[in-house]
Amino acid sequence: MRLPEVSKTIQVPDDVDITLEGKKINVNGAKGTLTRDFSFAPISIEGEGKNIRIWAKWPRKKEAALVGTIYSHVQNMITGVTKGFTYKLKIVFSHFPISVKLQDNTVLIENFTGERRGRRVKLVGVVKVKIEAEDIIVEGINLEEVSQTAANIEQATKVRKKDPRVFLDGIYVYERNEGIA
């Protein structure tokens, strides 16, 4: 059964400027600019002053779901250019002290479980990484780039071929925030 129309409206804050070019959305704010192209989606996007309406007429189930997904993406873009996003990771080790360094566009993890060769993690997009004693702080305005970088760092220290209940060494995400410190 199809619904006659599924619609969501976003109230744009005063300190954010949004421009629409077809299904391409540009969001400008205090922290920077984000651009995203939704031309792949079979939905309609229109701007009416300080409101953006995302809708689908007579949608199937997937198209109705896409309305909510794109609504969330645009909300995250607005939050990113006003507040930004921060992920905090904790360096955990029991025997071999893990050393983490920042080199150009990569994070170098050395001495993980006593390994001689370091593990490298490339940063995704435009993110800032700070290393403070036992913490790694990943900051940026694009939620997808910040969260993927944090996930890549966490996955690089995944323990393989050993019991994960015993070998708890690694780098783990412990906090996600809106807002750059």
| Residue 72: strand pairing partners | none
> Residue 81 in contact with residue 143, Cβ under 8 Å?
no
Radius of gyration of the chain (CA): 20
What whole-number distance in Å separates Cα of residue 90 and Cα of residue 181?
A: 17
Q: How confident is the model at residue 22 (pLDDT cuts 50, 70, 90)?
A: very high
- Same domain, residue pair 95 and 154: yes
Query: In this predicted model, what pLDDT tens digit does every residue of 32-63 receive, in sequence order?
Result: 999 999 999 999 999 988 999 999 999 999 99
- Same domain, residue pair 70 and 131: no
pLDDT confidence of residue 30: 94
Q: Is the pLDDT of residue 121 over 90?
A: yes
CATH code of the domain covering residue 119: 3.90.930.12
Average pLDDT of span 3-27:
93
pLDDT confidence of residue 53: 95
Query: In this predicted model, what pLDDT tens digit does every residue of 136-180 receive, in sequence order?
Result: 999 999 999 999 999 999 999 998 898 888 889 999 999 999 887
pLDDT confidence of residue 180: 78
HSE-up of 20 (CA within 13 Å, CB side)?
17
The residue segments making up the domain with residue 129 are 85-178
| Cα four-point dihedral sign 152, 156, 157, 161 | positive
Helices and strands in the chain, H and E counts:
2, 13
What whole-number distance in Å separates Cα of residue 162 and Cα of residue 176?
A: 29
pLDDT confidence of residue 90: 97
Query: In this predicted model, what pLDDT tens digit does every residue of 92-118 receive, in sequence order?
Result: 999 899 999 999 999 999 999 999 999
Query: In this predicted model, what pLDDT tens digit does every residue of 128-138 receive, in sequence order?
Result: 999 998 999 99
Last residue of one domain, picked from the residues 82, 101, 125: 82
At 147 the three-state DSSP class reads helix
- Same domain, residue pair 157 and 117: yes
Q: Which helix (H) or strand (E) holds 174?
A: strand 170-178
Last residue of one domain, picked from the residues 67, 82, 97: 82
pLDDT confidence of residue 1: 63
pLDDT confidence of residue 38: 96
Last residue of one domain, picked from the residues 66, 82, 98: 82
